[in-house]
Amino acid sequence: MPTLAIKGGRVVDPSQNLDAVADVLIEDGKVRSIGAAARADRVIDAKGLVVCPGLIDMHVHLREPGKEAAETIASGAAAAIAGGLTTIAAMPNTEPAVDTEAAAEFVVLQGKRAGMANVLPIGAVTKGRQGVELAEMGQLLRGGAVAFSDDGSPIQNADVMRRALQYAKMFDRAIISHAEDKDIVGSGVMNDGKISMILGLSGMSRVAEEIMVARDIALAAVTGGKLHIAHISVAGTVELVRAGKGKGVRVTAEATPHHFTLTDECVRGYDPVYKMNPPLRTKADVDAVKQGLADGSIDVIATDHAPHATEDKEVEFAAAPFGVIGMETLLPLVLTELVHGGVLTLSQAIAKLTVNPARVLGIAKGTLTPGADADVTILDPGCEWTIDPSRFRSKSRNCPFAGRKVRGRAVAVVVGGVLHQLESRP
Amino acid sequence: MSAAWTRRHLLGLEELSADEIRTVLDTAASFKEVSTRSIKKVPALRGKVVVNMFVEPSTRTKSSFTLAAMRLSADVLDFTPSTSSLSKGETLVDTAKNIEAMGIDFVVIRHPASGAPHMLSKVLRASVVNAGDGAHEHPTQGLLDIFTMREVKKRIEGLKVAIVGDLSYSRVARSNIWGLLKLGAEVIACGPSTLVPAAFKELGVRVSYNLDEIIGEVDVINLLRIQMERQKSNMFPSIREYARFFQINEERLKRAKPDVMIMHPGPMNRGVEISPEVADGERSVILKQVENGLAVRMAVLYLCSGAKEIPAAEESHADAGDQRR
């Protein structure tokens, strides 16, 4: 394999507290050194750019098998590259669900065939994601799974969740909780509050998330299991996670760009592109999520990339499926809203997209230490552009940020030593 | 007269200004006068086609819109899809575009999904008139309620109006609230705490859970239909208990102002939210509401057509000529 040198960039690697201008030398798919590279077969000039460990999105839905019209593993992995991501973790709510070793191996195999971003399966916690009997977690891990979740179908039975945390602890793997009390949410389609009242749409109460997060943190405390809270959307949940961490519970949490950028005011006009679960909340919640990101209560930024075919999504608001795509807008929104917006330093933001998700998933990625996999993202943090979903590599177009002016984008990624130059945008 | 109206669609009262609402009310008053003539038809919308698309059952609203369109000399097509996209099949947008391809000018839509009329207004060239969408708005009902209040009480500003019942699920309540607040009335939302979300306060509405406490101070009581199914989702324990606390009956009315107006958008549950004696009593304006609904819907179709002045009544031979075509 030819050697590759990324020269003159500002190397930001939170895993080793590094933020300095340096060259990154890559050899045989691994990081060889950081410093002054003597020579290489291929040289990339990164002057004025930021070089960081390859970005990880630990929460995506790739729809294969089952809904290939919305996304495939190949199209999702290509969308990841286009967004500057080198590793994505795919949720198991496919049809059928990823609840066996063979199903996990299929995801790994399709990811390898695509030859784009690394695709890691997340296995189901329970068989068929029914919330009743534990899935074969050990064998799922053998098949390539890195964590467990019944995402989209939260485990309603507290004892099943208790056993899952206990059992997964044996493998030191995280249970990712989509925290939602289904009885309280009922037929809700958006945040319960003033806007839902005006629009005449059924509300999803914030307390549905708080109840489940409180329950799961209590269960993690009693079992010593590793708990990760997906897509935090309300202020009360941020506080619960903060308090749980304060007591030494093994709990981590993630937030999505839409939950730190948009509010339920967007739903006026009834465009289903603003319908997702958990729903967009209020300005106070957005501020609390940003505060949680800033003080470290929220460890990870992930997209909950949820593609839907246009014909399924563009129907009456109440009838539309939940979910928005996000891989190709993740980095610009983090840079624009959080870094340029003064919430996080560049290094803090990169930590939440690299070393932090790698630790939650227990994978040896998210770092540029010599010997690590040569997954690298090269980004231009300042360039201004306008989000245009028609240019996306994802097969779906349900993006709530169309037409939004943003600053910053990825210009190239390296996955396992292989360089992918990204098309420049206007 | 219609100087304050430039809209092609009527989707709700939330987005209307006080002047626009007054324009509809004044136009409706003119049309009400037309209804007293021996020939009740004007050629305002001659050659125009109105499609009634009622994806949810309705008797009076649909009849009222049909009659309103006929009195304006429009042709009326009744289109009732057997399914909405809520229950699969062709999407609402496809259905509407297909009908539009036949050449139509108005779509009057009732739909169980809040926002369905908004969706159509974005893709159709025709005017879209909301005849009730989910729990969102029922603007012509709100307008006819306000028209009736103004007709009886001679004013809206300063009126104190109680809306009583299942406000959380009511499109009638929302349209009333927007219209009344814009015209300067005071609105009290009254009902069981499970059916009157506290969020209504954020609109400037007073919330009360005790009908007996407020009944003495209001000029108008607008009752909402109680959906029996709501009891199954624990919104209230029983119809009997609901009636005990929130039914308007003779006994309760003894504490009300002598000239209090009793309104109901229909269909009524006699013996639940209203006692039969009150429904048929002298303070009830329920049938006047139905009558005024026709004039208000004529005004709405007329204004959304962009017409500038109300033409004179049709000559009888012209009317016959219409029918020959």
Per-residue model confidence as pLDDT tens digits over B9-22 = 999 999 999 999 99
pLDDT at B88: 57
Mean local confidence (pLDDT), A10-25: 98
Confidence band of A37 (pLDDT split at 50, 70, 90): confident
Q: Is the peptide bond before A321 cis (omega within 30 degrees of 0)?
A: no
Which position has the token pair 């950081």?
A34
pLDDT at A425: 52
Cα separation of A213 and A272, whole Å?
A: 27
Cα separation of A373 and A32, whole Å?
A: 10
pLDDT at A426: 41
The per-residue pLDDT of chain B, averaged, comes to: 91
Residue B282: which residues within 8 A CB-CB, separation 6 or more?
Answer: none
Burial class (CB in 10 A: 0-12, 13-18, 19+), B60: middle
Cα separation of A120 and A54, whole Å?
A: 14
Residue of A nearest to B170 (CA): A200
**With the C-alpha atoms ordered B293, B296, B301, B302, is the resulting torsion angle positive or negative?**
positive
> Does the pLDDT of residue B86 top 60, yes or no?
no
Cα separation of B202 and B195, whole Å?
A: 16
Q: How far is B249 from chain A (nearest CA, A)?
A: 29
pLDDT at A165: 98
CB of A151 within 8 A of CB of A121? no
Burial class (CB in 10 A: 0-12, 13-18, 19+), B267: exposed
Which regions of chain B carry the CATH code 3.40.50.1370?
A: 18-136+293-324, 139-288
> Does the pLDDT of residue B123 top 80, yes or no?
yes
Residue A311: which residues within 8 A CB-CB, separation 6 or more?
Answer: B91
Cα separation of A110 and A325, whole Å?
A: 20
Q: Please tell me the class of the B18-136+293-324 domain.
A: alpha beta
pLDDT at B322: 41
CATH superfamily for domain A54-361: Metal-dependent hydrolases (3.20.20.140)
> Does the pLDDT of residue B315 top 70, yes or no?
no
> Does the pLDDT of residue B99 top 50, yes or no?
yes
Mean local confidence (pLDDT), A86-104: 98
Q: How far is A315 from chain B (nearest CA, A)?
A: 7
Q: What is the pLDDT of residues A261-276, one digit of tens each?
A: 999 999 999 999 999 9
Q: How far, CA to CA in Å, does A5 sit from each of A22, A23, A34, A50, A367?
A: 10, 7, 10, 14, 17
Confidence band of B323 (pLDDT split at 50, 70, 90): very low
Q: What is the pLDDT of residues A320-373, one digit of tens each?
A: 999 999 999 999 999 999 999 999 999 999 999 999 999 999 999 999 999 999
Cβ contacts (< 8 Å) between A204 and chain B: which residues? Answer: none
pLDDT at B4: 81
The beta-carbon neighbor of B199 closest among A194, A269, A318 is: A194
Catalytic residue numbers of A, as ranges: 304
Cβ contacts (< 8 Å) between B114 and chain A: which residues? Answer: 199-201, 270, 317-318
Instruction: Kindly write down the DSSP assignment for every residue of A194-255, as one continuous string.
Output: HHHHHHT--EE-THHHHHHHHHHHHHHHHH--EEEE-S--SHHHHHHHHHHHHTT--EEEEE
What pTM value is reported for the model?
0.93
Mean local confidence (pLDDT), A23-50: 93
In this complex, is the C-beta atom of B67 within 8 Å of any C-beta atom belonging to chain A?
A: no
Tell me how far apart the terminal alpha carbons of chain A are, to the nearest angstrom. 33
Mean local confidence (pLDDT), B35-55: 91
Mutate to test the interface with A, among B114, B141, B163, B172 (most CBs of A within 10 A): B114
pLDDT at B83: 55
**Does domain B139-288 correspond to CATH entry 3.40.50.1370?**
yes
The per-residue pLDDT of chain A, averaged, comes to: 97
Rg of chain A taking only CA atoms, in angstroms: 20
Mean local confidence (pLDDT), A114-129: 98
CB of B158 within 8 A of CB of B185? yes
User: Which amino acid does the sequence have at A426?
Assistant: P
**With the C-alpha atoms ordered B301, B306, B310, B312, is the resulting torsion angle positive or negative?**
negative
- Asked whether the beta carbons of residue B200 and residue A318 sit closer than 8 angstroms, the reply is no
Both tokens of residue B230?
């709501």
Burial class (CB in 10 A: 0-12, 13-18, 19+), B125: exposed
Cα separation of A281 and A262, whole Å?
A: 8
Q: What is the pLDDT of residues A220-242, one digit of tens each?
A: 999 999 999 999 999 999 999 99
- Asked whether the beta carbons of residue B136 and residue A319 sit closer than 8 angstroms, the reply is no
> Does the pLDDT of residue B325 top 60, yes or no?
no
Pairwise pLDDT comparison (B234 vs A47), residue with the higher score: A47
CB of A264 within 8 A of CB of A196? yes
Cα separation of A66 and B133, whole Å?
A: 34
Q: Which residues in A have their CB inside 8 Å of a CB on B?
A: 186, 193-194, 196-202, 269-270, 311, 314-319
Packing angle of the helix pair A73-82, A101-114 (nearest 10 deg): 50
Pairwise pLDDT comparison (A343 vs B96), residue with the higher score: A343
Residues B157, B163, B169, CA angle at the centre, nearest 5°? 130
Both tokens of residue B72?
């304006």
In this complex, is the C-beta atom of B13 within 8 Å of any C-beta atom belonging to chain A?
A: no
> Does the pLDDT of residue B314 top 80, yes or no?
no
> Does the pLDDT of residue B317 top 60, yes or no?
no
Cα separation of A368 and A16, whole Å?
A: 8
Length in residues, chain B: 325
Which position has the token pair 């309280």?
A184
Q: What is the pLDDT of residues A378-422, one digit of tens each?
A: 999 999 999 999 999 999 999 999 999 999 999 999 999 999 999
Mutate to test the interface with A, among B90, B118, B178 (most CBs of A within 10 A): B118
CA A161 to chain centre: 22
Q: What is the pLDDT of residues B186-238, one digit of tens each?
A: 999 999 999 999 999 999 999 999 999 999 999 999 999 998 877 778 889 99
